Amino acid sequence: MTVIYLVIAALLVFITASSSAETEHQKQRFHGVQKNGNQCVCTVRFAEWEFPVERFKELQDLSQNCSSSLNERLSEITAINFKIQVFLEEMQNETARLKQFEAMQKQRLYHPLNFWPLRWDLKRLQSEIAKVQNVSLPNTKALQTISSELNNSYVSVLNLQLYDKHNLLNMKDRLKKIKNRLESFSVYGNVKIGNCSGGMLRNVTRPLIAQLNPYGSSYPYGAWGMDSMPGSPELYWVMALLSSNIYGNSIRTYSSYKTFLMSNTHVDFTVESSYTTPNAIQGPGVVLYNGSLYYNCYKSGEMCKFNLNTKNIIHVNLPNAGHSNKFPYCYYDCYGYTDIDFSVDENGIWVIYATEENYGNIVLSKINSNNLAVLQTWKTKLFKKATSNAFMVCGVLYATRYVSKNEEEIFYMFDTVTNQEAKNLNIRLIKFSPDVASLHYNPVDRKLYLFNGGYMLSYGVLFS
Ligand SMILES: *[C@@H]1O[C@H](CO)[C@@H](O)[C@H](O)[C@H]1NC(C)=O
Ligand SMILES: *[C@@H]1O[C@H](CO)[C@@H](O)[C@H](O)[C@H]1NC(C)=O
Ligand SMILES: *[C@@H]1O[C@H](CO)[C@@H](O)[C@H](O)[C@H]1NC(C)=O
Ligand SMILES: *[C@@H]1O[C@H](CO)[C@@H](O)[C@H](O)[C@H]1NC(C)=O
Ligand SMILES: *[C@@H]1O[C@H](CO)[C@@H](O)[C@H](O)[C@H]1NC(C)=O
Ligand SMILES: *[C@@H]1O[C@H](CO)[C@@H](O)[C@H](O)[C@H]1NC(C)=O
Ligand SMILES: *[C@@H]1O[C@H](CO)[C@@H](O)[C@H](O)[C@H]1NC(C)=O
């Protein structure tokens, strides 16, 4: 309840105006008290005769909003009803077609028209073969065999139409087998991928190491791994983000696998005096390489490199990179501030990000590990926000997506040597928590390192 003290001059005007407007409702008398000699002060209980104009306006708005949103819903429902009609009709049509087919099969009666879908499938297979053939395969002979088998099938179908001799199911079975064999030959099948001997990533083991990070479960975002430079001392490291899981300013290191597992002796390195200092760490896309930490600098689109031995920091702009949550990894939920993600493979250090110029799709740059200069850049057609993470192996970019609380899928690859991409890898990764903060490959031990809702997990990888 508002109690307002009014100076008498203003009050007189006010009461006159209000009471003349509301004469038919009620009149009220207010007692004044003389104060400071020439002022008369009254106490008015404002709410008793106030019309709630603002509240009324708000409710009016709300009801307008409600009715317009109701109208939207209504038109959606109309649209959906219409679609359902179409689906129903399609389904009825398909069912009718199927019935026809079954009846004919029972009577062993075929009509040339029934072979049209089959012929269409065959045509599609042929064009798939043509695509595969375009890639220079080491094993073209096997493909030629399949190709001529397919051609034979095509000829058989033509003959079938003329003679109705063969069993349709038999034919379909043959086609399916050819198709399976063809799939095992698909573009990324036997082709040389990337530019090291390993070949292509085929499967991932169950987690080999699974351990809560040393700061505890209230630090769900961060990164961990082992120095990724071949020949570097074995140095395990953990970086946990503070400040709403966005910024960090130190890393913890362990001088061997054993001390890491026992967590008994560690050395902490302070990158910057606080996590709100320029050149502090932003986001979990960090990696330790050749005794230096590579990371996205605090509130910027710059790349930072902190040398653990000299404590020296250098920072260099990453041209056009979306940063500070413009293009993070997302999939269902966004993993905050994962815009700029470093990765190391057999070829050295890379940075994975996205640009407006490439429509938010993943851009990949190879960088000079000493001065952070961009050496070469590749543009992919994969929307960065439609992935949950990405990493490099042998010059090939792999990207992951969320499958379930306990599973992640490596579904995409982009080969920087041939600029080829594939989107159907289906390599599954078991995880402990839904959240994937950072995932990278280490070419030294050829393992994947995942920071997963506070858990540090590592996996073996299988190539072929
Ligand atoms: C009504 O919708 C408008 C525009 O969408 C919005 O600005 C306003 O806050 C809404 N009013 C209420 C009361 O929700
Ligand atoms: C279903 O079949 C009828 C008659 O053949 C055709 O007119 C109609 O377009 C078909 N509907 C759909 C959704 O395919
Ligand atoms: C195969 O490559 C040739 C030239 O390199 C190209 O013209 C043709 O379209 C390609 N065919 C397919 C199916 O990709
Ligand atoms: C497929 O077979 C037909 C007839 O036997 C032949 O004319 C054609 O060249 C063959 N096509 C291929 C791609 O082998
Ligand atoms: C991949 O590895 C997992 C775990 O070792 C295994 O269960 C699965 O069958 C493998 N998948 C393939 C396609 O080899
Ligand atoms: C590794 O670090 C050493 C010392 O800082 C430097 O001389 C060397 O160039 C670095 N190598 C790479 C590949 O970054
Ligand atoms: C492999 O490819 C990457 C980029 O495509 C290149 O930077 C690197 O030098 C290559 N390495 C070898 C050994 O060819």
Tens digits of per-residue pLDDT, 292-305?
999 999 999 999 99
99 vs 256: which has the higher pLDDT? 256
Judge residue 339's burial from the number of C-beta atoms within 10 Å of its C-beta, 0-12 exposed, 13-18 middle, 19 or more buried: buried
Any ligand 2 atom below 6 A from CB of 94: no
pLDDT for res 337:
93
State the average pLDDT for the chain.
78
Supply the residue whose CA is at minimum distance from atom 12 of ligand 7.
195
3-state SS class at 42: strand
Question: Which tokens in the block code for residue 45?
Answer: 């209980």
Q: Which atom of ligand 6 is nearest to the CA of 348?
A: 13
3-state SS class at 73: helix
- Asked which of 148-157, 238-247, 432-441, 442-451 is least confident by mean pLDDT, the reply is 148-157
226 vs 191: which has the higher pLDDT? 226
Any ligand 3 atom below 6 A from CB of 134: yes
**Confidence tier at 138 by pLDDT (50, 70, 90):** very low
Picking from 101, 129, 106, the residue whose alpha carbon sits closest to that of residue 116 is 101
- Per-residue pLDDT for 220 more than 60? yes
- Per-residue pLDDT for 122 more than 70? no
The CA distance from 23 to 213, in Å, is 74
Distance 63 CA to ligand 1 centre (A): 10
Supply the residue whose CA is at minimum distance from atom 12 of ligand 1.
62
pLDDT for res 16:
37
Any ligand 6 atom below 6 A from CB of 370: yes
Contact at 8 Å (CB) between 101 and 111?
Answer: no
Distance 422 CA to ligand 3 centre (A): 17
- Asked which of 67-71, 132-136, 166-170, 426-430 is least confident by mean pLDDT, the reply is 132-136
- Per-residue pLDDT for 5 more than 60? no
Q: Own/partner pairs for 404-412, CB < 8 Å, 24+ apart?
A: 405/433, 405/434, 406/430, 406/431, 406/432, 407/431, 408/436, 410/201, 410/204, 412/382, 412/387
- Asked which of 9-23, 128-142, 203-217, 282-296 is least confident by mean pLDDT, the reply is 9-23
Neighbours of 136 (CB within 10 A): 9
- What is the pTM (predicted TM-score) of this model? 0.60
pLDDT for res 333:
80
Distance 151 CA to ligand 4 centre (A): 6
Q: Which residues of 38-65 are buried (b: 16+ CB within 10 A; e: fewer)?
A: eeeebebeeeeeeeeeeeeeeeeeeeee
The CA distance from 359 to 213, in Å, is 36
pLDDT for res 297:
96
Any ligand 2 atom below 6 A from CB of 90: yes
- H or E element, residue 141: helix 140-163
The CA distance from 20 to 185, in Å, is 91
Mean pLDDT confidence for 245-256: 92
The CA distance from 118 to 126, in Å, is 12
Supply the residue whose CA is at minimum distance from atom 6 of ligand 7.
347
The CA distance from 229 to 288, in Å, is 8
